[in-house]
Amino acid sequence: MTGPEHYREAEKLLAHADVAIDEGYSDRAGLMHAEAQVHATLALAAATALNDGNGGLPAADFATWKDAAATKASVS
């Protein structure tokens, strides 16, 4: 799974957790929040690792991250 994929998965899990809370499944929502945090941390690690500290992310990687962060995740 790539960094942007981890990012999208974290967003998706957070959206599902909101639905679970609305439906009264707070225990399940808590697990989804924890899983979302893991994916968000892995996304951050991937973005940090790709940043060379000089010029930032390579252009292709920047475009992929921009796509991931610029669109709202849908619940599927």
Contact 10, 72 (CB under 8 A): no
Mean pLDDT computed over every residue of the chain: 87
Contact 8, 68 (CB under 8 A): yes
Q: What's the start-to-end Cα distance of the chain, in Å?
A: 18
56 or 3, greater pLDDT: 3
pTM exceeds 0.85, yes or no: no
Assign 71 a pLDDT band (cuts: 50, 70, 90).
low
Question: Helix 3-22 vs helix 59-70: angle between axes, to the nearest 10 degrees?
Answer: 10
